[in-house]
Amino acid sequence: MSGKNTVRQLTSIVAIDLRGAIGCDNTLPWRLKNDMAFFREKTIGNTVIMGRKTYNSIGSKPLPRRNNIVLSHNSVLFEAVPTCQLVLSVDEALYRAEQNADEEIFVIGGAQTYEQFDSLVDRYLVTIVDHEVPDTDAFLSSSVLESFREWRRVEVASFQASADQDEFAFSIFEVSAPDGEARRRAREQIIERYAAKVVARKAQPKNPKAALTISQDAFAF
């Protein structure tokens, strides 16, 4: 990868309540139809990156009309399909995402995955729910919440609570990193390093033991 700004935009998209909560029992702790519509509008036709718990929370099936990348250190019982692949590291996730022809890449959760990508994303699309939801058990880290306070923030939409649509009032903000150029360069470097590893692995003999045996036999007189 070479040139300037060749990597795709990387966005974390998340909804939080007034305390920074994002979930309860591995599910969303609110019913916000307009926010779900916003999520679909932004992510359909693009690549989404998620942790294993988030993947499990959506039924262990890929989100339709999106390329899904699941970040996990455990590949047991994971069935890869054309629109869903397992990766073992952030570096591999970025590399695989760039192989897709999609325009954008979105990180969609959970809390640990948001934190892992916090130093690399260009922006957040943050839904702030105007409520403190009780009994929540998953929260964004303090470092991610600090980014929301320090970065440039623009409101893009707001909705009032309604009986048939949204359980609580909420607003959606675009929160952009002030050092976006440096973050893109960092992603480029990560992807280039990982690509070099892929090339090196492909160049290795497929069966090193067999290659060693052939080499030894060649010198047996």
Could you give the C-alpha distances from 40 to 43, 211, 215, in angstroms and in order?
Answer: 5, 51, 56
pLDDT in tens, 49-67: 999 999 999 999 999 999 9
Q: Could you give the 3-state DSSP secondary structure of residue 77?
A: coil
Distance, in Å, from the CA atom of 37 to the CA atom of 10, rounded to the nearest integer, reads: 20
From first CA to last CA, the distance across the chain in angstroms is: 49
**Please, what are the domains in the chain?**
9-218 (3.40.430.10)
Question: How many CA within 13 A on the CB side of residue 26?
Answer: 10
Q: Which H or E element spans position 202? A: helix 180-203
Q: What is the pLDDT of residue 6?
A: 82
Asked if 183 and 119 count as a contact pair (C-beta separation under 8 A), the reply is yes
Alpha helices in 16-59 (DSSP H): 33-43, 52-57
Could you give the C-alpha distances from 34 to 44, 57, 111, 169, 180, in angstroms and in order?
Answer: 15, 20, 22, 10, 29
pLDDT band, residue 220 (cuts 50/70/90): very low
pLDDT in tens, 17-51: 999 999 999 999 999 999 999 999 999 999 999 99
DSSP-derived secondary structure letter, 59? T
Least confident of 72-86, 88-102, 155-169, 185-199: 72-86
pLDDT band, residue 165 (cuts 50/70/90): very high
What mean pLDDT comes out for the span 153-179? 97
Strands annotated E in 7-151: 9-16, 21-23, 47-51, 67-71, 84-87, 104-107, 123-129, 138-139
Whether pLDDT at 152 is above 90: yes
